[in-house]
Amino acid sequence: MHPLLLNVHERPLTLVKFNYDGDFFITCAKDGDVNLIRTESGERMGSYSPVGEKAGAVFAVDITIDSSYVVTANADGKLVYYTFQGEQVAVLNHGGILKYVEWNQKPGAQNMVVTCNDKFKSTQDGMIPNRIMIWQFEPQKRLLSIDEALPMKATKVKWGPFDETLVSIFEEGTVIIWSAKNGKQIALIQAHSGPVTGLNFSEDRMLMITSSKDMSAKLWTMDDKYECIKEYKTDRPLNDAAISPLYSSEKDPKMHVLLGGGQDAKDVTTTANSSGRFEALIWHMVAEEEIGSVKGHFGPMNSLAWFRNGTGFVTGGEDGYVRIHKFDADYFTNKKFE
C-alpha cells in the first residue's frame, strides 16, 4: 500500500468527510481552509471560503447526500452554507465556538442541520451557553435548542437513526441520546473512562462506534437498549473510529473497524516509546483482535474515514497532512483479513 500524501493544510486537521458517491471528500482544519479533494487522484479541486475575512479554525464540515450543499462549522460562531461548486449561499450567526455540524439524514429532505457549540462571552450577546441546536436551512430558523439541560459542553453531535434522536459525546466520558423533537434526554451512557473523542455509525445508523482517550473504542447497538456489544482496547489514546462499509456486504464481508489516534503533541517528546503510535489500526469487529496496521502520520491522527466502497480510507493528522490509502489486492484475498 503506497499512500498519497497531501499537504493541503498548514495546521491540524479536524475532519475528513466523503460525499455519498465517494468520488470526493472534504477536509477542514484549524487553519480555516476547507478543501474539496478528488478521491481517485488526490487532486485538490477547490476550496470553500467565506466571503470577507478567513474563518479561523473550522471544526466540522458536512455535505448533503445529493452533493448539492456543503455546510461548515466555524470557530467564530458562524455556520456557512455553500453550493457544492463553492458559491456561498447563506451565513448564520450561530454564536459560541462551533464544534460540529451535520445535515439530517433523510434523502430528498435534508433541510436541517444539528450543531453544538462551546460557551462564549460576546460583547454583543453576553454569555452564550453550551448548546446543542437544530436549524432549518431554508428558510433559516431555529427549530430546537438544548442548553439548560446540557450538563457539560458537547464536542460532537450527530443524528441518530431515522432523524428521531440526536447523539452527543462529551469530555467526561459520556454519550447522551436526546429526542430530536423536543430535546428531552432519552439516555445517558457512561461510555468511557476518558474523554469521548469520536463517534461514527454504520450505514443504517443501527450500530455506533465511539473512540476515547482511555485507549479504547466500543461498538454499540442503537436500539432502545444502547448496549455495548464489543470493545477494542489499544495501546494509545484514540481520536476517531469508523466501521467498514463492507461489514454487511453479502459477498465477502469485511467485519472491520478502523481506529486512529496517538499521544497529544505536547506529550510526544516527553513520553518514552512515543514513536510508532500514529498508525491506522484495523481491528476485527467481532473477534476484537487487531489484524493489521498502516503506517500513518508524524503526529496524532485526528480524523479518519473509509472509502464509501470500503476499498481504502483517508486520514487527517495533527501534522496537517492528509493521507489517502488504497488497499492492495491482498486485503481482499488474504484470509488474514477475512
CB 325 within 8 A of CB 313: yes
**Full-model pTM:** 0.93
Instruction: Pick the closest to residue 96 from 168, 145, 151, 27 (CA basis).
Output: 145
For residue 1, list its beta bridge partners: none
pLDDT at residue 243 in the model? 98
Q: Which residues of the chain have pLDDT under 70?
A: 55, 122-125, 265-276
- Interval 37-88: pLDDT, tens: 999 999 999 999 998 877 689 999 999 999 999 999 999 999 999 999 999 9
| Residue where the block lists cell 454519550 | 175
Burial bucket for residue 119 (CB in 10 Å: 0-12, 13-18, 19+): middle
Helix (H) or strand (E) holding 333: helix 330-333
How far is residue 111's CA from residue 194's CA, in Å, rounded to a whole number?
34
pLDDT at residue 123 in the model? 55
Grid coordinates representing 88? 456561498
- Interval 199-209: pLDDT, tens: 999 999 999 99
- Interval 81-107: pLDDT, tens: 999 999 999 999 999 999 999 999 999
* Domain 14-252 fold: Methylamine Dehydrogenase; Chain H (2.130.10)
Give long-range contacts, CB 8 A cutoff, 24+ apart: 75-81.
Answer: 77/117, 77/120, 77/122, 77/128, 78/50, 79/113, 79/115, 79/135, 80/48, 80/50, 80/55, 81/137
Q: Calculate the alpha carbon distances from 336 to 83, 90, 255 in Å.
A: 43, 49, 12
Close Cβ partners of 236 (under 8 Å, ≥ 6 residues apart): 215, 261, 262, 263, 277
